[in-house]
Chains A and B, each alone.
Chain A
Amino acid sequence: MKTLEEIFCRQPETLNEALTLLSDEATRGVLLSGGTDLVVQWQAGAVPMPEQVIDLSAVPELKEISAQDGCLRIGACVTHAAIRNHALTREALPALVAACASIGARQIQSRGTLGGNVANASPAGDASPALLVADARVVTASLAGERCIPMNEFLLDYRKIDRHPDELILRFELTPCPQGGIERFCKIGTRGAQAISKVMGACRVVMHGKDIQHMALALGSVAATAIRLPETEKLLAGKTLCEELVDEAEACVLREVHPIADIRSTAEYRRWVSGRIVRGFLESL
Chain B
Amino acid sequence: MKKETFSVVNHSVLKIDGLQLALGRKSYVADLKPSDALYVKMLWSPHAHAEITSIDIRKAETMPGVRCVLCHTNTPRNIHCTAGQGFPEPSPYDTFMFDKKVRYVGDRVAAVAAETPEQAEEALKTIEVTYNLLEPVFTVDRALEPDAPIIHDEPEAHIPIPVPYEPEHNIVAKVGMEAGEFDQALAQADYSFDYTYETPYAQHCPIETYISMAHIDARGRVVVETSTQVPFHARRIIARTLGIPVRQIRVIKPRIGGGFGSKQEMLLEDVVALMALRTGRHVIWQLTRAENFRTGRTRHPIRLRIRTGVQKDGTLSALGMDAINNTGAYGGHGLTVVSCCGSKVLPLYRCDNIHFDARVVYTNLPVGGAYRGFGATQAFFAVETQIDEMAEAIGMDPLVFRQKNHIRTGDGSPVFQALGEGKEGTPMTIGSCALDQCILQGAAAIGWERRTPHTEKTGRYRTGIGMCCLMQGSSVPEIDMGAAAIKMNDDGSFNLTIGATDLGTGSDTVLGQIAAEALRTTIDQMIVYSSDTDLTPFDVGAYASSTTYLSGEAVRKAAVKVLNQILGVAAEMLEVPAESLEARESTVFSADGRQATYSEICLYALYQKNQFQIMDSASHITHKSPPPFAAHFVELELDTFTGCIKLLQYVATVDCGTAINPKLAEGQTEGGVMNGLSYALTEQYLFDSRGKMTNASFHNYHIWSMRDKPILKTILVPSYEETGPFGAKSVSEICINGPAPAINNALYNAAGIRLREFPFTPERVWNELQKKQA
Contact = CB atoms under 8 A, between A and B. Distances in A.
- What 4 A-B pairs come out closest when comparing CB atoms? A192-B707, A193-B707, A276-B641, A269-B763
A7 interface: no
Interface residues of A, number: 25
Nearest to B121: A1
A63 interface: no
Contacts of A263: 686, 694-695, 700
B568 interface: no
A280 B460 CA distance: 9
A198 B762 contact: yes
Interface string B673-685: 0000000011000
Interface string B660-698: 000000000000000000000110001000000011010
Interface string A30-49: 00000000001000100000
B702 interface: yes
A264 B694 CA distance: 11
A130 to B, nearest CB: 19
A264 B701 CA distance: 10
B709 to A, nearest CB: 9
A164 interface: no
B123 to A, nearest CB: 13
A273 B642 contact: yes
7 contacts: A40-B699, A105-B705, A188-B642, A188-B644, A190-B761, A193-B707, A264-B700
Interface string A188-226: 101111111010000000000000000000000000000
B705 A192 contact: yes
Interface of B: 118, 121, 460, 641-644, 681-682, 686, 694-695, 697, 699-700, 702, 704-705, 707-708, 761-763, 766
A188 B645 CA distance: 11
Given A1-B121, A273-B643, A191 B702 contact: yes
B702 A190 contact: yes
B642 A276 contact: yes
B247 to A, nearest CB: 42
A191 B766 contact: no
A193 B121 CA distance: 34
A279 interface: yes
A154 interface: no
A280 B705 contact: no
A44 B289 CA distance: 12
Contacts of B762: 188, 190, 198, 265, 269, 273
B642 A1 contact: no
Nearest to A279: B641
Contacts of A248: none
Contact of A105 (B460, B694, B704, B707): B707
A187 to B, nearest CB: 10
Nearest to A280: B641
Contact of B682 (A188, A190, A265, A280): A190
Residue in A192, A279, A283 with the greatest tally of chain B CB atoms within 10 Å: A192
B711 to A, nearest CB: 14
A160 B720 CA distance: 66
Nearest to B704: A191
A112 to B, nearest CB: 15
Nearest to A199: B642
A27 interface: no
Interface in A57-89: none
A266 interface: yes
Interface string A89-109: 000000000000000010000
Given A273-B643, A276-B641, A283-B460, A193 B763 contact: no
A165 B700 CA distance: 32
A1 B708 contact: no
Contact of A193 (B695, B700, B705): B705
A192 B703 CA distance: 11
Contacts of B699: 40, 196
A193 B708 contact: yes
A190 B680 CA distance: 12
Given A193-B705, A276-B641, 15 more contacts: A105-B705, A105-B707, A188-B644, A191-B682, A191-B702, A191-B707, A196-B699, A263-B686, A263-B695, A265-B762, A273-B641, A277-B641, A277-B642, A280-B641, A283-B460
A272 B708 contact: no
Contacts of A191: 681-682, 702, 704-705, 707-708
Nearest to A188: B642
A6 B565 CA distance: 66
A104 to B, nearest CB: 11
A40 B698 CA distance: 12
B763 A265 contact: yes
A44 B699 CA distance: 11
Contacts of A277: 641-642
A266 B763 contact: yes
A51 B362 CA distance: 47
A105 B763 CA distance: 24
Nearest to A273: B642
Contacts of A40: 699
A195 B702 contact: yes
Nearest to B683: A190
A198 B682 CA distance: 13
A62 to B, nearest CB: 27
Contacts of B763: 265-266, 269
Contacts of A1: 118, 121
Contacts of A192: 705, 707-708
Contacts of B761: 190
Contacts of A283: 460
Interface in A1-43: 1, 40
Interface string A254-274: 000000000111100100110
Nearest to B684: A190
Interface string A133-177: 000000000000000000000000000000000000000000000
B641 A194 contact: no
Residue in B460, B641, B686 with the greatest tally of chain A CB atoms within 10 Å: B641
